[in-house]
Amino acid sequence: MSRSFSRQVLRILAPAIGTAFLAMACSDAPPAVREADTGPLVGDSAGIRVVRDTAPAWGSTPQWTVGDSFSVDIGEPTQPLVGVAPVLRLSDGRIVVVNGAQQSILYFDPTGKLLTTAGGRGTEEGQFHGLGWIGRGPADTVVAYDFLTRRFALFDAKGKYVRVAALAPADPKVAAEPLATYPDGSVLFRLGRPLNPFPGKPGEVIRDSASYMRFGLDGLPQAALGRFPQGESWGVRVRSEGPPSSFPVPFGLVTVAALQADTMLIGTGASFEVASIGPDGMPVRLLRAPIERASVTAEMSSEYTAAATTRLRTGAKSLNTPLDSTLIRSLEKAPFPARMPAFGRMLVDRTGALWLSAPLNPPASASTWNVFAPDGTWLGTVTTPDGLRVDEIGADYVIGVWRQRHGQEHVRVYPLSRGAGS
C-alpha cells in the first residue's frame, strides 16, 4: 500500500465527516469500543482554581445570536477555493485565506474583494508545497506553516514575504501540528507519533499521547506544556497488502486545545472538563460543567455511514482512484463507542470567551456551542449556521468555511450579536 493512496483516501473522507472524525461506520451491530481509561486531565489539582459551573447564566434562552445570512461570501465563480486552511480576519477587517490547491495566501478587503496574493507552489523562499495552516502574528503579520518542509514563513501586514525558519523539535521524526498563535506570534504545537503506519493490528483501537510545546518564530522551542492523551484511532486495511492505516474512531474521544492569551486550554473529551495550562507548563485552572456525554444511537451510526460512504465513492470517482474491497470490508467493521465525546471543537474568541461545540455528528452540520466567559462562567449556548466550519469568532462576527457538494469552498462572514449577555 502506498502512502499516497492512503493520503488520497483520507482526503476523500475528510470533507464529509470533519477533520476530527475520518473513519466510517459499520453494519447494524457494530463492535463496541472499550474506552481507554486516560485518568484525570490534571494529575494533582491541589492549589489549582476549580470552576464548577452548575447551570448556564442565560438559562434556556440564548443571549448571543449569529445571523442567518452571511455578510461576505468569497468563492466561486470569481475566486474558486479548494483546501482552505483556517481563515483569519485582521484588525482592519481584511480576510486572509489559504487556497490549498494553489498553495497561495490570498488577502481580501472587508467586502471580499481580492487585494493581493502571496506564496504559491514552488521551492523559492516564500513558496510552499505543504501549506496547511496560517496564524495571526503581532501587528497583522501572518505566520504560515508548511507541513512538508516543516518551515514557518512570515509575511508582513501588507502580505509581503519577510523570512523563513525551520521548525526544530527535539525529535525531527515526530508529527508536528500547529494549533494557535500567542500574542507575540510564537506558535503552540502538538507533537506526536505520525499517523501512519498504524502501530497495532488491523481493527485494534489505541489512544496515543502527544506533547504540547511553544515554538518561537525562529523555529526553536520555548516551553514544554505537558503531554496529554490524544484521539482514539483504529487500524484499517486500505488494501489487501501492506500495513494498516490509522483512522480516528468514529465518534471517538478527541483532544482539543486553544489559546487564551498566553494560557493553553485543553480538554480530552472524556468528561466536560477543560484545564488551563500557564506559560510555564503548570496547570492553573480546571473548568467543569455538568453536561453529560450523549449516547451513540443506531440512527446516528446509519447517518454517519451514509454520509461517509457517499463522500468516499464520489471522491474516488472524481480522483479516478479505484476502491479496494478490502477497505470497504474494513470500514464495515468500524468500531463505535457507547457515548459521544463531551465536546467536539474548541475556540477562544477575540474577547477571550471559550466556545466548546457539541460533538461533531455528520451529516448534520449545524453546530451548537457552549460558551464560557473568560473567568469561566458558563453563559449558555449559541448556534452557528448550517454547514459552516467556524474558524474565528470576533466581537461582532463569525468567519469560517462553507463547502459545496462538489468540493468547492466558500469563506463566509456572519454577524454576531452579543445582546444583553455581552
Say if CB 121 and CB 171 are below 8 A apart: no
Write out pLDDT tens, residues 66-124: 999 999 999 988 888 989 999 999 999 999 999 999 999 999 999 999 999 999 999 88
Q: How far apart are the C-alpha atoms of 288 and 303, rounded to whole Å?
A: 31
Q: How far apart are CA 189 and CA 174, in angstroms?
A: 11
- How distant is the alpha carbon of residue 3 from its chain centre? 22
Q: How far apart, in whole angstroms, are the C-alpha atoms of residue 370 and residue 291?
A: 10
**Strand, helix or coil for residue 159:** coil
- The single-letter code of the amino acid at 220 is L
- pTM for this structure? 0.87
Kindly state the cell numbers that stand for 107: 488577502
The average pLDDT across 251-262 equals 94
- Cell numbers placing 55: 447551570
Average pLDDT, the chain: 85
Question: What percent of the chain clears pLDDT 90, i.e. is strictly above it?
Answer: 59
Say yes or no to pLDDT of 399 above 90. Answer: yes
What region, left, alpha or beta, does residue 30 occupy, with left being phi > 0 and alpha being psi -120 to 50 degrees?
beta
Beta bridge partners of 413: 72, 399
- CATH code: domain 3-421 is 2.120.10.30
Tell me how far apart the alpha carbons of residues 230 and 263 are, in angstroms, rounded to a whole number: 19
DSSP 59: T
User: Side by side, which strands form the sheet with 263-267?
Assistant: 49-52, 283-288, 273-277, 263-267, 256-260
Write the DSSP symbol of residue 364.
-
Residue linked to cell 496515543? 208
Q: Cell match 451513540: residue?
A: 296
DSSP code at position 324: P
Q: What is the identity of the amino acid at 225? A: L
Sequence spans of domains, the chain: 3-421
Give the CA-trace dihedral at 58, 59, 63, 67, to 10 degrees: 140
**Alpha carbon distances (Å) from 367 to 99, 190, 341, 358, 387:** 24, 25, 15, 7, 8
| Lowest-confidence pick of 133-137, 273-277, 362-366 | 362-366
pLDDT score recorded for residue 112: 96
Mean pLDDT over residues 201-224, rounded?
93
All 3 cell numbers of residue 126? 516564500
pLDDT higher than 50, residue 24: no
- Higher-confidence residue: 324 or 279? 279
Distances (CA, A) of 39 to 89, 255, 278: 38, 14, 21
Please tell me the predicted confidence (pLDDT) of residue 187. Answer: 97
User: What is the model's pLDDT at position 241?
Assistant: 76
CB burial readout 102-125, b (16+ within 10 A) else e: bbbbbbbeeebeeeeebbeeeeee
Q: Which pLDDT score is estimated for 90?
A: 97
Q: Judging by DSSP bridges, how do beta strands 49-52 and 283-288 pair with one another?
A: parallel
Evaluate if residue 5 carries a pLDDT over 70: no
Q: For residue 18, what pLDDT band results from cuts at 50, 70 and 90?
A: very low
What amino acid is encoded at 50 in this protein? V
In the block, which residue shows the cell 493490528?
Answer: 201
268-323 pLDDT per residue, tens: 999 999 999 999 999 999 999 999 999 998 888 777 777 766 766 776 776 677 76
Per-residue pLDDT tens over the stretch 32-73: 455 555 666 776 666 789 999 999 999 989 999 999 999 999
What pLDDT score was predicted for residue 77? Answer: 84
CA distances in angstroms from 227 to 190, 213, 224, 253, 282, listed in the order given: 9, 9, 9, 16, 12
Indicate whether 213 pLDDT > 80: yes
User: How many Å apart are CA 103 and CA 127, to the nearest integer?
Assistant: 8
State whether residue 302 is helix, strand or coil: helix
Q: From start to end of 34-147, where are the E strands?
A: 49-52, 65-66, 72-74, 88-89, 95-99, 104-108, 114-119, 131-136, 142-146
